[in-house]
Amino acid sequence: MPTGAWCNRCPRRRYLRGAIPANPVLDPSSAAIISAANLATNVPRAGGPEWLTPIYRTTNSDPAYDPPLQYATAWGCSVGGSIHIPDAATRELPQVPNSDWDGWIAVVNTDDNTVKAIWRADKSTGSWRGACAGSYSLHGNGFTPLTGVGTGSGSQMGVGVILFSEL
């Protein structure tokens, strides 16, 4: 997974991190798009969990994990100590053994103002582990990790994602 150093030349626009303002101008097709996504019957993930990265709000009172990371040494992967993940949390599906699956899980910790994510996350042994991970400031630009790494583009997992609550 690249560290994203090449992206230091990329513009860091706030629109990737800002909340959608109240009363935004909506596209005339918005109702049709929402209807097609069938959000009313498939909350919290439209169309099921496949290929959608779950992003959970968490606090320091949720269980803490110090996940072993497969590429910690080679790629500098780290969540910066522990990551708090709610008990009921699940990661992106499907998990296909011996293939290039992503399996992300991301958490927004409102106590320490971080966004942490694990790539190829797995809890089949009762504790979270993964291939790589990173930690970013909740109020940062989404491209400068506090520790570890993000996606292949160097961004934080979840940056620019439109949340269901915003729909």
What gap in Å lies between CA 105 and CA 129, rounded to an integer? 11
> CB 79: neighbour CB atoms within 10 A?
25
In the predicted model, is pLDDT for residue 92 greater than 80? no
Predicted local confidence at residue 128, as pLDDT: 95
Predicted local confidence at residue 142, as pLDDT: 87
pLDDT for 144-158, tens place per residue?
999 999 888 888 887
Least confident of 27-31, 144-148, 160-164: 160-164
At 100, the pLDDT band (50, 70, 90 cuts) reads low
Predicted local confidence at residue 24, as pLDDT: 79
Q: What is the mean pLDDT of residues 106-115?
A: 94
What gap in Å lies between CA 41 and CA 164, rounded to an integer? 13
pLDDT for 36-71, tens place per residue?
665 544 444 444 445 678 889 999 999 999 999 999
Burial-class residue 126 by CB neighbours within 10 Å (0-12, 13-18, 19+).
Answer: exposed
Residue 54: asked if its preceding bond is cis (omega within 30°), the reply is no
Predicted local confidence at residue 66, as pLDDT: 96
pTM over 0.75: no
Which tokens belong to 83?
Answer: 């990551």
Domain ranges of the chain: 52-167
Which tokens belong to 36?
Answer: 């097609």
